[in-house]
């Protein structure tokens, strides 16, 4: 039984007082049981030609005189994304990718043909942001590009030429064209998506038909060294379409595929997605339930992959995930612009914990999307830029990138709504290359604090941490108050030999750093 004091009061280091009930969760860490690395590529991002993600988000144009930029890319955006240490960036889509013809986006900008974005808002784009612009931006960001190839409306030769254009160092028609356009050395792009959502906007194909199409396109995407250097990623399942994964694993030869994609969004109801900021308690629960479904999806898709790939040589690549709501009032419905509250911080923390804990199979993921679209980490408005709660979660979690996974077992109390329940607490842990141990914890319950007891599997000399929470669940950062929600120091964790205890406030994310192992 908890004391009345603990039932009545949880004191945060940031000075806020909470008065909810408290439940208890236990976690057992097993630091000696794993050699699995949490790939940094799990923390990837996604930039589609959609709404204000590229134009007015990343790119404001070389002639802009009011917003500081480098070759047209906003300097504040570059700085913020480098703070996250983003490991990869997916482009140009999404659904847009299967309508995009890359040769329209190279050469003198004044000579590039325009394109109508049929998928997102019907706007006309001038192709001023193309292959050179994106790949040079990735160099500025010190991140790896992930190019999504056009399989839906493009031809095999078109994709083969793109690979040659960006990767071939010797003399060839495409590398000569690249040099004529001002780039001598290749970019050596490793990650390639062979189409996107082939079951839907990428062509409404069957799994069997797409498998044959994939084999054809992938065959002509040469790396010229025959070393398997290209990381080809197949268009994978829509959420719980397990037959799609089964078919691909049966039909795709391992020498042609490095990853199978998976797309899943936390959505209340696809026909009535609800507001990003004015949601009910019931809608909050349903969003969390949809987000937690990612755990089941990863486990079931992984089990299918294990049958055909027991050595786990093919990665599960969750290259679209995040929360999806109705657009903000008075914005273009095709632009998918939404605000970002503490609900989104809960989605991010929970989902990244799921990916970390399944890092043996999940080796890459991409949050949708980076700027001004869906669950963005950055929002822009003219000269102003803000970091969302999701940004702060990903910044706190970057300590897990390329760290050694520490397996854990968790016995969580439940978050209950109208007889339905999901775990209130999620967690993941790792040992960084600096020798320190990190534990990330999320309490999604909006009203009940969680007393957490951890058996660390070893003794540590000290613990520190940071917390992300807010006064209200529906709080968000806006252009009038950009720092309403941001991480604060957390000193509420108590360390005693191999045990650690703390109280997680409602709707909070905590990342702990343990050092000085004895």
HEC profile of 3-46: CHHHHHCEECCCCCEECCCEEEEEEEECCCCCCCEECHHHHEEE
Tokens standing for residue 5: 């004091």
Give domain 4-30+407-517's CATH superfamily.
Golgi alpha-mannosidase II (2.60.40.1180)
d(CA 141, CA 143): 5
Name the DSSP class of 60: -
Name 464's bridge partners: 513
- Kindly tell me the sign of the dihedral angle through the C-alpha atoms of 268, 272, 276, 278: negative
What confidence tier does 5 reach under pLDDT thresholds 50, 70, 90?
very low
Name 416's bridge partners: 421
Q: Tell me: the pLDDT tens digits for 121-156? A: 999 999 999 999 999 999 999 999 999 999 999 999
> What percent of the chain lies above the pLDDT cut of 90?
92
Tokens standing for residue 32: 């000696």
d(CA 375, CA 371): 8
Region 419-434: what's the mean pLDDT?
96
Catalytic residue (choose from 48, 197, 395, 513): 197
Helix residue spans in 309-375 (DSSP H): 342-357
What confidence tier does 224 reach under pLDDT thresholds 50, 70, 90?
low
- Choose among 415, 405, 474, 465: nearest CA to 441: 465
What confidence tier does 411 reach under pLDDT thresholds 50, 70, 90?
very high
d(CA 117, CA 92): 12
Domain chopping of the chain, boundaries: 4-30+407-517, 43-403
What confidence tier does 13 reach under pLDDT thresholds 50, 70, 90?
very low
Contact 212, 232 (CB under 8 A): no
Q: What is the pLDDT of residue 65?
A: 96
Contact 282, 257 (CB under 8 A): no
The DSSP bridge pattern shows strands 362-367 and 315-323 to be parallel
Per-residue pLDDT at 166 exceeds 60:
yes
Minimum mean pLDDT range among 16-20, 52-56, 110-114, 496-500:
16-20
Cα 503 from chain centroid (whole Å): 28
d(CA 440, CA 453): 14
Q: Which helix (H) or strand (E) holds 489?
A: strand 488-489
Domains 4-30+407-517 and 43-403 share a fold: no
Q: What is the pLDDT of residue 228?
A: 60
Tell me the CATH number for domain 43-403: 3.20.20.80
Contact 115, 124 (CB under 8 A): yes
Tokens standing for residue 145: 């590009």
d(CA 501, CA 496): 8
What is the rounded radius of gyration, in angstroms, for the C-alpha atoms of the chain?
23
Q: Tell me: the pLDDT tens digits for 344-398? A: 999 999 999 999 999 999 999 999 999 999 999 999 999 999 999 999 999 999 9
User: CA 273, 449, 509 angle in degrees (round to 5)?
Assistant: 60
What confidence tier does 518 reach under pLDDT thresholds 50, 70, 90?
low
d(CA 96, CA 117): 7
Q: SS3 for 391-450, per residue?
A: HHHHHHHHHHCCEEEECEEEECCEEEECCEEEECEEEEEEECCCCCEEEEEEECCCCCEE
Q: Which helix (H) or strand (E) holds 231?
A: strand 231-238
- Choose among 146, 172, 79, 173: nearest CA to 387: 79
320 among known catalytic residues: yes
pTM of the model: 0.94
Catalytic residue (choose from 125, 320, 395, 513): 320
d(CA 254, CA 217): 15
């Amino acid at each position: 039984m908890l004391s009345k004091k603990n039932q009545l009061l949880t004191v945060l280091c940031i000075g806020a007082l909470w008065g909810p009930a408290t439940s208890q969760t236990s976690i057992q860490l097993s630091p000696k049981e794993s050699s699995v690395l949490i790939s940094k590529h799990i923390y990837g991002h996604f930039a589609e030609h959609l709404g204000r993600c590229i134009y007015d988000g990343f790119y404001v144009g070389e002639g802009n005189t009011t917003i500081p930029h480098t070759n047209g890319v906003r300097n504040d955006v570059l700085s913020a994304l480098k703070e996250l240490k983003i490991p990869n960036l997916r482009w140009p889509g999404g659904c847009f990718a299967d309508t995009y013809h890359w040769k329209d986006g190279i050469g003198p900008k004044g000579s590039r043909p325009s394109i109508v974005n049929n998928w997102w808002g019907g706007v006309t784009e001038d192709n001023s942001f193309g292959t050179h612009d994106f790949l040079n931006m990735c160099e500025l960001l010190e991140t790896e590009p992930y190019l999504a190839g056009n399989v839906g409306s493009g031809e095999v030769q078109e994709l083969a030429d793109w690979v040659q254009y960006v990767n071939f160092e010797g003399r060839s028609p495409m590398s000569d064209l690249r040099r004529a356009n001002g780039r001598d050395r290749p970019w050596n792009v490793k990650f390639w998506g062979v189409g996107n959502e082939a079951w839907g906007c990428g062509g409404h194909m069957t799994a069997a038909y797409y498998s044959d199409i994939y084999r054809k396109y992938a065959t002509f995407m040469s790396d010229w060294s025959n070393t398997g250097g290209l990381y080809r990623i197949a268009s994978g399942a829509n959420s719980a379409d397990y037959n799609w994964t089964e078919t691909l694993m049966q039909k795709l030869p391992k020498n042609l595929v490095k990853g199978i994609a998976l797309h899943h969004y936390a959505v209340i109801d696809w026909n009535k997605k609800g507001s990003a900021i004015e949601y009910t308690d019931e809608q909050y629960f349903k969003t969390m339930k949809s987000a937690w479904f990612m755990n089941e999806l990863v486990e079931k898709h992984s089990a299918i992959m294990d049958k055909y790939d027991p050595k786990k040589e093919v990665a599960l690549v969750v290259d679209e995930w995040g929360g999806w709501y109705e657009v903000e009032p008075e914005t273009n419905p095709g632009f998918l612009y939404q605000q970002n509250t503490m609900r989104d911080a809960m989605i991010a923390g929970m989902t990244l914990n799921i990916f970390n804990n399944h890092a043996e199979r999940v080796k890459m993921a991409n949050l949708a999307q980076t700027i001004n679209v869906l669950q963005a980490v950055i929002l822009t408005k003219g000269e102003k830029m803000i970091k969302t709660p999701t940004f702060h979660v990903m910044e706190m979690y970057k300590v897990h990138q390329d760290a050694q996974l520490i397996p854990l077992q968790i016995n969580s109390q439940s978050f209950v709504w109208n007889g339905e329940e999901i775990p209130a607490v999620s967690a993941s842990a790792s040992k960084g290359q600096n020798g320190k141990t990190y534990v990330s914890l999320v309490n999604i319950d909006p009203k009940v604090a969680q007393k957490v007891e951890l058996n660390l599997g070893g003794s540590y000399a000290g613990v520190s941490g940071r917390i992300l929470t807010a006064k209200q669940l529906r709080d968000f950062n806006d252009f009038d108050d950009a720092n309403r929600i941001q991480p604060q120091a957390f000193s509420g964790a108590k360390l005693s030999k191999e045990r650690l205890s703390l109280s997680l406030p409602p709707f909070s994310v905590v990342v702990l750093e343990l050092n000085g192992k004895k």
